[in-house]
Amino acid sequence: MAYDCLMKHIENYTAIKNISGVAFNAGKAELIRFAKHCAPYLTDELSITKDVVQKWVAPTVHESPNTRKIRVNYVVAFLKYLASQGVSVYMAQPIRQSLLPYIPYIYTNEELAKFFTAADNAKNKPHKKGMFSNRPLIMSVIFKLIYGCGLRVSEATSLRVGDVDLERGVMTIMQSKLDKERLVPVHATLLATLREYSSKVHASSKPGSPFFPSPKGNGHYSQTGIYVAFRDHLWEARISHGGKGRGPRVHDFRHTFAVHCLRNWVLGGADLMVALPYLSAYMGHSSIASSQYYLRLTAEMYPDIVMKMKHSFDVMPDLEVLYETN
């Protein structure tokens, strides 16, 4: 009952935003996630307690400051609305500090080769007590999938066996930002890797089983475990890490995928006005504006093709804060 009431308030609040001319798709999606966060704590009468709000505003693992700022401020504004409607709420403070943008790290082809070689080599090394496990194999495939298909880390870790069609070479991405489902075709080379991996790990798995099962056998692989393996492979590949907030990060494989796609399209003479919406749909962006951001990154990474890109677009988009919304 209280959850339904909360969802009704979200609908009304969204309607007010839309009437005032504010594009609120991302905000509504964040508020729906907040409602799901509140659900286990709600009673018969709608109220948002201090404990619930503090758990929401707390930083999460590997979350950037900009991501947290947006997530928190959407909810703080909504809590003010709820209070104006007579709902008992605990008011958190908005995050106001001006945060420096994180500039995505774009891997070179040489760095990618070194990293994936380090990940593959780990598959042949014994681990604890001289035993071999599936963990290095899983890590190797996860990293290749994130780069090869431009996935978000959460999208890769949330895959189930039934989401990966190894016959048609298509993945169904269910657990995506903004709760948007999409189909992602897989390149033939990567598909061969997925088939080999599946034959070793999922010979008798059910469709609902995690495609990347945790070594503890209790669900999907955690993003924390992936990050630990990522740092190990960076070290082995001799790729420098600038420290927290400086990268490179696992998520930068996704950014690199987008930039490399644009580079290849430009050099191949493709019309970016036609191609860009395909990139936007493939990567699950909320709008084509998110994909256009990568035009600037591509121009900065490969200045020799700037003139070709300007030929496709009269005005290059400005470099702006990415906010992890891509």
Domain C-terminal end among 89, 122, 144: 89
Instruction: Tell me how far apart the alpha carbons of residues 81 and 17 are, in angstroms, rounded to a whole number.
Output: 11
Residue 100: inside a domain, yes or no?
no
Q: Are residues 305 and 226 in the same domain?
A: no
Average pLDDT over residues 208-225: 81
Choose the weakest-confidence range: 130-134, 148-152, 281-285: 130-134
In a domain, 23, yes or no: yes
CA 28/CA 15 separation, integer angstroms: 10
Using one digit for the tens of pLDDT, what is the confidence trace for 249-305? Answer: 898 999 899 888 888 887 787 777 788 888 888 888 876 766 667 776 676 666 665
Same domain, 146 and 58: no
Q: Are residues 227 and 256 in the same domain?
A: no
**Residues 257, 148: contact at Cβ < 8 Å?**
yes
- The Cα-based distances of 197 to 25, 128, 215, 287 in angstroms read 37, 22, 15, 34
Judge whether residue 184 has pLDDT over 80. yes
Quick one: 200 and 288 in the same domain? no
Shared domain for 11 and 43, answered yes or no, is yes
**Which residue type occupies 216?**
K
What is the domain count for the chain? Answer: 3
Percent of the chain with pLDDT over 90: 42
Structural domain contains residue 274: yes
Rounded Cα distance, 176 and 70, in Å? 18
Report if residue 238 sits inside a domain: no
The residue type at 294: Y
pLDDT value of position 317: 36
Domain co-membership, 78 together with 29: yes
H, E, C per residue of 269-292 = CCCHHHHHHHHHHHHCCCCHHHHH
**Which range among 15-19, 61-65, 285-289 has the greatest average pLDDT?**
15-19
Per-residue pLDDT at 177? 63
64, pLDDT greater than 90: no
Q: Is residue 10 in a domain?
A: yes
Asked whether residue 242 carries a pLDDT value surpassing 60, the answer given is yes
Last residue of a domain, one of 231, 262, 279: 231
Angle at CA of residue 42, ends 38 and 44, nearest 5°: 155
267 and 297 assigned to the same domain? yes
Average pLDDT over residues 63-75: 83
Verify that 76 and 29 share a domain, yes or no.
yes
Q: Residue 241: which region, alpha, beta or left (left: phi > 0; alpha: psi -120 to 50)?
A: beta
Residues 82 and 124 in one domain: no
Helices (H), the chain: 2-19, 25-38, 50-57, 65-84, 109-122, 135-149, 153-157, 188-201, 223-236, 252-267, 272-283, 288-301, 306-312
Does 326 reside within a domain? no
211 shares its domain with 118:
yes
Q: Is the pLDDT of residue 56 over 60?
A: yes
**pLDDT tops 60 at residue 321:** no
CATH of the domain at 176: 1.10.443.10
Q: Tens digit of pLDDT for each residue in 72-90?
A: 999 999 999 999 999 999 9
* Residue at 319 is within a domain: no
Confidence check: pLDDT of 58 > 60: yes
Domain end, chosen from 181, 197, 231, is at 231
Residue 307 confidence (pLDDT) above 60: no
pLDDT of residue 320: 34
User: Does residue 114 surpass a pLDDT of 60?
Assistant: yes
Tell me: do 136 and 227 sit in the same domain.
Answer: yes
Tokens (6 digits) for 38: 């509140």
| Mean confidence (pLDDT) of the chain | 82
Is position 243 within any domain? no
Domain that holds residue 227: 112-231
Query: Which residue has better confidence, 254 or 98?
Result: 254
Domain co-membership, 123 together with 210: yes
Is the predicted pLDDT of residue 179 greater than 80, yes or no?
A: no
